[in-house]
A and B are shown apart, each in its own frame.
Chain A
Amino acid sequence: MAEDEAQPVATAAAPRGGDRVRRHRLSTRLWHWTNLVAITIMLMSGLMIFNAHPRLYWGKFGANPDHPWLEVSDHAGRGTLRIGSHSFDTTGLIGAATDAHGEVQAQAFPGWMTIPSTYSLADARLWHLAFAWLLACALAAYLLWSLANGHIRRDLHMTRTEWSPRHILADVADHARLRFPTGAAALRYNVLQKLAYCAVLFGLIPLAIGTGLTMSPAFNSVAPWLLELFGGRQSARSLHFLAALGLVLFVAVHLAMVVLAGPINEVRSMITGWYRLPGERKASIGQEHPSHD
Chain B
Amino acid sequence: MTEPLSRRRLLALGAAGAGGLALAGCDKLNGTPAFRSLLESAEDAHRGSQRLLGGGMLAPEFALADLSPDFRANGSRTAATNADWARHAAAGFTQWQLRVDGLVLRPLDLSLERLRSLPQRTQITRHDCVEGWSAIGQWTGPQLGGILKTAGLLPAARYIVFHCADNFGGGAPYYESIDLLDAFHPQTILAHAMNGAPLGVEHGAPIRLRVERQLGYKQAKFVTRIEARSSLAGLYGGKGGFWEDRADYAWYAGI
Contacts and interface: CB of A to CB of B under 8 A. Distances in A.
Given A220-B59, A221-B54, A133 B45 contact: yes
Contacts of B46: 129
A142 interface: no
Contact of B134 (A40, A61, A115, A129): A61
B129 A63 contact: yes
Interface stretch (B34-42, B107-115, B143-151, B225-233): B34-42
A32 interface: no
A53 B131 CA distance: 6
Contacts of A112: 19-20, 23
Given A117-B27, A126-B36, A217 B215 contact: yes
Interface string A20-50: 0000000000000000000011001000011
Interface string B54-74: 100111101000101111100
Interface in B147-177: none
B101 interface: no
Interface residues of B, number: 50
Given A53-B131, A123-B30, A217-B126, A63 B248 contact: no
Contacts of A40: 22
Nearest to B252: A218
Interface in A110-140: 112, 115-117, 120-123, 125-127, 129-130, 133
A63 B134 CA distance: 6
Nearest to B15: A255
A224 interface: yes
B254 interface: yes
Contact of B135 (A63, A117, A133): A63
A62 B54 contact: no
Instruction: Provide the main secondary structure of the chain A interface.
Output: helix
B254 A115 contact: no
Given A65-B69, A122-B248, A133-B45, A217 B128 contact: yes
A114 B53 CA distance: 32
A234 interface: yes
Contacts of A216: 50, 254-255
Nearest to B40: A126
A18 B115 CA distance: 82
A237 B128 CA distance: 12
Interface string B224-255: 00000000000000000000000111100011
A215 B40 CA distance: 20
Contacts of A184: none
Please list the 7 inter-chain residue pairs (A to B) with the smallest Cβ-Cβ separation, ordered nearest first.
A218-B254, A65-B70, A130-B42, A63-B133, A53-B132, A216-B255, A52-B131
Given A50-B132, A61-B135, A218-B255, 13 more contacts: A53-B133, A60-B134, A66-B70, A125-B249, A126-B40, A127-B39, A129-B42, A129-B43, A133-B45, A217-B212, A221-B58, A233-B126, A233-B128
Interface of B: 19-20, 22-23, 26-27, 30, 36, 38-43, 45-46, 50, 53-54, 57-60, 62, 66, 68-72, 126, 128-136, 212-215, 247-250, 254-255
5 contacts: A61-B66, A117-B27, A218-B213, A218-B254, A219-B54
Interface of A: 40-41, 44, 49-50, 52-53, 55, 57, 60-66, 112, 115-117, 120-123, 125-127, 129-130, 133, 215-222, 224, 227, 233-234, 237
